[in-house]
């Protein structure tokens, strides 16, 4: 006798932030809030009379359990912005942090949420930027952010993009930023501490273009790294400041400001680019993790995953 099982998978288990385990929390008569699916606990029943040589395995399909999300929260994730996630990419003036921290961003100018899934993006052009809270740590004059990821596309081959900058609110020579300067064909991890005689720019080659790029930068111990599309880059540098200097190296004269879309707050240098996803973490990541981050959205942005 044929055995019949329900094999259609239960869908809808995706979490907007993290993928986690699902645990049973109810029965048919006790539907919990936030249910996303359900699963059946099959039981075997042998049906064979005395002397029978055939036993029938019957899947009764009566013991259903409801499941809800239990995300495994990454405690190292500081900020998570995803324009393609309707919980994050809400409107032109609202890009919502969907990390566990739920930081509030302040819209300045007229950023535009545009594109179609899976390539929805924020166009942050000249005159536009998002301000992050001056919460220290992780922001302000601290090293609360150690690694930074961005899916970014320049508006023109000579445009610039800045997806993490902390600077003095009054002194244009006190800043730290991570960005892509298309006119210079370089990715920058850079700081200036008071003057050009105390600065250090780490540079990774990337010609100005209008294709999507996955750029990951971090401080790994005392070494800065630049990764483009899952591959660590050979870098050059300029400046006489300490090569390991990060956000807290700068002696900010006044209050600091952390932003997305500008180089610095005083004597503002605007970018002009589209941003699909930005994530900050408070620690450095391994090669395997960085490749995994790239692969997560590679096909969404027209790239080939690394295998």
What's residue 70's pLDDT?
56
Q: Note whether 89 and 20 are same-domain residues.
A: no
What's residue 73's pLDDT?
79
Residue of 2, 12, 126, 136 lying closest to 58 (CA atoms): 2
User: 66: domain range?
Assistant: 1-72
What's residue 53's pLDDT?
45
Q: Note whether 59 and 96 are same-domain residues.
A: no
Q: Note whether 96 and 31 are same-domain residues.
A: no
> What's the CATH number where 173 sits?
2.60.120.200
Sheet of 21-26, strands arranged across: 21-26, 64-70, 35-40
Q: Note whether 146 and 212 are same-domain residues.
A: yes
Choose one of 72, 97, 119: the last residue of a domain.
72
pLDDT in tens, 201-224: 999 999 999 999 999 999 999 999
Domain count along the chain: 2
Residue 306 covered by a domain: no
What's residue 39's pLDDT?
54
Choose one of 33, 49, 72: the last residue of a domain.
72
Residue 307 covered by a domain: no
Choose one of 25, 55, 72: the last residue of a domain.
72
What's residue 289's pLDDT?
98
Q: Note whether 113 and 49 are same-domain residues.
A: no
Neighbours of 244 (CB within 10 A): 12
| Cα(174)–Cα(254) distance, integer angstroms | 10
The list of the chain residues with pLDDT below 50 reads 1, 3-28, 32, 35, 43-61, 66
Contact (Cβ atoms closer than 8 angstroms) between residue 230 and residue 306: yes
């Amino acid at each position: 006798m044929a055995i019949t099982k329900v094999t259609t998978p239960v869908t809808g288990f995706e979490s907007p932030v993290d993928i986690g385990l699902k645990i049973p929390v109810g029965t048919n008569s006790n539907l919990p809030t936030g249910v996303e699916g359900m699963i059946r606990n099959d039981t075997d029943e042998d049906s064979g009379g005395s002397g029978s040589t055939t036993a029938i395995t019957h899947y009764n399909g009566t013991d259903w359990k409801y499941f809800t999300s239990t995300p495994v929260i990454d405690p190292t994730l500081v900020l998570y912005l995803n324009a393609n996630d309707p919980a994050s990419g809400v409107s032109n003036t609202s890009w919502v942090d969907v990390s566990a921290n739920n930081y509030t961003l302040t819209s300045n100018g007229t950023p535009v949420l545009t594109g179609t899934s899976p390539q929805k993006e924020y166009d942050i052009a000249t005159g536009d930027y998002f301000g992050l809270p001056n919460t220290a740590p992780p922001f302000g004059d601290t090293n609360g952010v150690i690694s930074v990821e961005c899916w970014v596309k320049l508006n023109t081959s000579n445009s610039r993009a800045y997806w993490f900058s902390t600077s003095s609110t009054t002194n244009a020579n006190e800043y730290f930023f991570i960005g892509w300067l298309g006119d210079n064909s370089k990715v920058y991890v850079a700081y200036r501490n008071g003057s050009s005689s105390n600065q250090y720019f780490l540079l990774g080659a990337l010609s100005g273009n209008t294709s999507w790029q996955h750029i990951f930068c971090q401080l790994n111990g005392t070494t800065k790294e630049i990764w483009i599309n899952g591959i660590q880059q050979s870098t050059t540098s300029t400046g006489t400041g300490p090569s390991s200097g990060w956000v807290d190296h700068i002696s900010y004269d006044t209050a600091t400001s952390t932003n997305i879309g500008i180089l610095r707050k005083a004597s503002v240098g605007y970018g002009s680019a589209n941003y699909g996803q930005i994530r900050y973490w408070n620690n450095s990541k391994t090669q395997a993790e960085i490749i995994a981050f790239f692969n997560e959205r590679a096909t969404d942005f027209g790239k080939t995953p690394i295998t």
